[in-house]
Amino acid sequence: MTAYRAVQGVKDILPEQSALWEHFEKIIKTTCGLFGYQRIETPIFEETGVYARGVGEGTDIVEKEMYTFKDRGDTSLTLEPEGTAGVVRAYIEHGMQMKPQPVKLFYVRTPIFRYERPQKGRLREHHQFGCEAIGESDPMLDAELISVIWSVYTRMGLTNLSIQLNSIGDKACKPGYMQKLIEYYTPLQDDLCADCKVRFTKNPLRLLDCKEERDQPKIAHAPKIAEYLCADCEEHFALLKQYLEEMHIPYTLNPLLVRGLDYYTRTVFELISEDIGGRQNAIGGGGRYDGLIELLGGKPTPAIGFGSGMERAIALLEQQKGTEIAEKQPEVYIIALNAMAKRKAAEFANTLREKDIKTLLGFGSRSLKAFMKAANASGAQWAVIIGEEEAQTNTVALRNLRAGADDDHKQVSLSVEEGLQTILRSVQQ
């Protein structure tokens, strides 16, 4: 029979990578905690409407990339294509607007599903962490949220990072700007690239996002949102920039940064790593979505959030810190040489683990030499050898695997209790 392979565009996270993932997750949880964010995990699928409405009809995600299916009850469900809409649905459903605002939430290692083109190296299932801060329009919250993603990656030791920042206005000024943009592009329509022709009718803001050479001069001369912000948006943006400076977060203004999703208002940002080449150099991004809660059936509520793809950051982390981050090695490897000894070994392993000592057991019947080879390969500091004599006299032979070859004390015979104490002492050092 042919063996199955993973579906195209998805990846296993193998044990060799799990130390990096654990390290990354720990930094995320610690950092979010420092900022007063609390963890939320929403289901990996929702009713399709949550995303169709929340992300926006006409977006690439909704039109081309969602995994949508009918379940056996004939309900249309969609696997989570981004992190925000599900959190907002939960905020509304659980009456979180009754809690002190803002409600600050984070999620970590959430699987995200999009029907991407795997030939471009993009995954159809990847994992994100992200933060959502709901119920407050104060620009200090925008600055604090940007500070969370900034802190996560700087605490991870990544370098060559920067924040790109823009404001895309609100419902008072965005429509006026969009009108100007459409007027500007109308006579240029026929000369646009194929993607931009679609953007022109469906999502004109994204015309500014085009990477095609032929459209760059058009983008360069297009009206920029900064000149059309209303007084409130302008003040909000000015204050945000001040707070970022107080928080020592370096940013660059990018008037072309618009983000792909419909629901963004005012602040939009991306965290860029110069260590990633090519077009996809953002390791995270987000923005304010003051209209989304209402769109999903809640009361009008301001909010801001970001999402960050974890695989891309893990690849960077591996590149920059791979060898420094390793799984904790075992302290003890127990070798039992007969049936009676195996019972003693099982008991001793149990005692050690109760004391938080990482312990491996040698399984099966092998020669002492074969077991010693496995013990050395495991990276353990101590081999505990229980042979026939040890089993009968309730002793253990303790061999220090990290001692030098000519060290006379590298193997000692001790009572089980003395063996335990010796191991505990060496671990506490």
Binding interface with Zn ion (CB under 5 A): 169-170, 172-173, 193, 196, 210, 212, 215, 230, 233
| Residue 359 tokens, joined | 């312990």
Q: CB of residue 173 vs Zn ion: minimum separation in angstroms?
A: 3
User: For 280-286, which contacts have Cβ atoms below 8 Å and span 24 or more sequence positions?
Assistant: 280/312, 282/164, 283/153, 283/161, 283/308, 283/309, 283/312, 283/313, 283/316, 284/130, 284/149, 284/153, 284/308, 284/309, 284/313, 285/259, 286/130, 286/131, 286/145, 286/149, 286/259
Q: CB of residue 89 vs Zn ion: minimum separation in angstroms?
A: 27
CB closer to Zn ion out of 80 and 170: 170
Q: CB of residue 294 vs Zn ion: minimum separation in angstroms?
A: 17
CB closer to Zn ion out of 52 and 173: 173
Cα angle value 209/223/306 (rounded, 5°): 40
CB closer to Zn ion out of 178 and 397: 178
CA–CA dist 19, 2 (Å, integer): 32
CB closer to Zn ion out of 105 and 173: 173
Q: CB of residue 165 vs Zn ion: minimum separation in angstroms?
A: 16
CA–CA dist 107, 117 (Å, integer): 26
Work out whether strand 303-309 and strand 282-288 pair parallel, antiparallel, or are unpaired: antiparallel
Q: CB of residue 96 vs Zn ion: minimum separation in angstroms?
A: 26
CB closer to Zn ion out of 66 and 210: 210
| Residue 18 tokens, joined | 């799990």
| Residue 103 tokens, joined | 């409600």
Q: CB of residue 199 vs Zn ion: minimum separation in angstroms?
A: 7
CB closer to Zn ion out of 229 and 383: 229
CB closer to Zn ion out of 224 and 410: 224
CA–CA dist 306, 267 (Å, integer): 11
Alpha helices in 123-173 (DSSP H): 139-155
Q: CB of residue 286 vs Zn ion: minimum separation in angstroms?
A: 19
Q: CB of residue 265 vs Zn ion: minimum separation in angstroms?
A: 8
> Cβ distance 117 to 1 under 8 Å?
no
Place of tokens 């419902």: 171
Could you give the 3-state DSSP secondary structure of residue 35?
Answer: coil
CA–CA dist 199, 59 (Å, integer): 9
Q: Tell which residue, 105, 111, 423, 160, has the closest CA to residue 272.
A: 160
CB closer to Zn ion out of 288 and 342: 288
Q: CB of residue 175 vs Zn ion: minimum separation in angstroms?
A: 10
Q: CB of residue 31 vs Zn ion: minimum separation in angstroms?
A: 31
Residue 98's H or E segment, with its range, is none
Query: At a CB cut-off of 8 Å and minimum separation 6, what does 71 contact?
Result: 77
Q: Tell which residue, 232, 201, 207, has the closest CA to residue 221.
A: 207
> Cβ distance 6 to 12 under 8 Å?
yes
CB closer to Zn ion out of 230 and 397: 230
CB closer to Zn ion out of 144 and 215: 215
